[in-house]
Amino acid sequence: MRIVVSGGAGFIGSHLTEELLKQGHSVVIIDNFVTGSRKNLEHLNSDKLSIVEHDISKPIYLAEKVDRIYHLASPASPIDYQKLPIQTLKVGALGTHNLLGMAKDKHARLLLASTSEIYGDPLMHPQKETYWGNVNPVGPRGCYDESKRFAEAIVVAYRDYHKVDTRIIRIFNTYGPRMRLNDGRVVPAFISQVLNGEDLSVYGDGSQTRSFCYVSDLVRGIMKVMEQPDQNPINLGNPAEITIKQFAEKIIELTSSKAKLIYGPLPQDDPKRRQPDITRAKELLGWEPEVSLEEGLRKTIEWAKKNV
């Protein structure tokens, strides 16, 4: 197939592109390299890969046929989307609109990479796809949360009104090689701090929880969602919940570090608990994570040592 990946130079997008090329597909990456990196693609020497440098918030036309569109483009870390709030909203709204137009024109199937952040600071635990969320639209995370909530809404509108073939995934915390080590999210932050001989910055008392999915498991899930028939949102993530304090201690243990935990104030609207209910993914896809946290962290730390 000929497959478009928006945000294909990003962390998840580059891993997805790599896997699609391995399976023999032709891939067109559309990326403006605001948060993605050409370095993530340097190892992909394939005549089936083409890169279009473009901001998908602006209209785009591809002459050739397109069979599938994976829409992953968006700033995803708090540091990025709080620095780029308008661009984040535009890529969720205008960018999604433009790619849906492409899907309609090309009779292609489109998958939207949405996020667990559409649940906000959740009042339901674990989070099911039927939960509507607890989001502050005017808080510091609102630009990202609402961009993804709007993106889901317009995908459903195109599905129902124009009969465009669509899929929606909600990605929970994912980690692995090629994460930007300065993007502010907890995995690269802790790993880069410990490798630089610094203490680890924990916000709040560290009792807030996250659930970490290794990138290869996520990519396997994304591709399964694209090729199955259900058009409703599907959570993809690891249901193994861990507190941030426990997670920091695990990083210290795996690196044999002498680092201490330094506590600071919890950012506004930071979710207290985050854990996916992946019942639908198990039932529809036969999918669940396979890589343990320890194994995934070891791989990520080894990569980070070469890139810190």
138-193 per-position pLDDT tens digit: 998 999 999 999 999 999 999 999 999 999 999 999 999 999 877 778 888 899 89
CA nearest to 123, candidates 17, 294, 272? 272
Give the pLDDT of residue 158: 98
Give the count of beta carbons closer than 10 Å to the beta carbon of residue 223. Answer: 19
Assess whether pLDDT exceeds 90 at residue 78: no
Phi, psi dihedrals of residue 112, rounded to the nearest 5° = -95, 125
Q: What percent of the chain has pLDDT over 90?
A: 79
Handedness of CA 195, 196, 197, 199 (dihedral sign): negative
Q: What is the mean pLDDT of the chain?
A: 94
pTM of the predicted protein model = 0.94
Helix (H, G, I), strand (E, B) or coil at 171: strand
Q: Mean of the pLDDT values across residues 80-105?
A: 96
Place of tokens 């050409």: 38
Give the pLDDT of residue 135: 93
Report the distance separating Cα 186 and Cα 165, nearest Å.
35
Ordered by start, the domain boundaries in the chain are 2-174+215-238+276-285, 186-208+241-274+293-307
Give the pLDDT of residue 45: 85
Give, in words, the CATH class of 186-208+241-274+293-307: alpha beta
260-293 per-position pLDDT tens digit: 998 988 777 777 888 999 999 999 999 999 999 9
CA nearest to 169, candidates 42, 300, 16, 57? 16
Assess whether pLDDT exceeds 90 at residue 308: no
Residues annotated catalytic, as ranges: 144
Which CATH topology does 2-174+215-238+276-285 take? Rossmann fold (3.40.50)
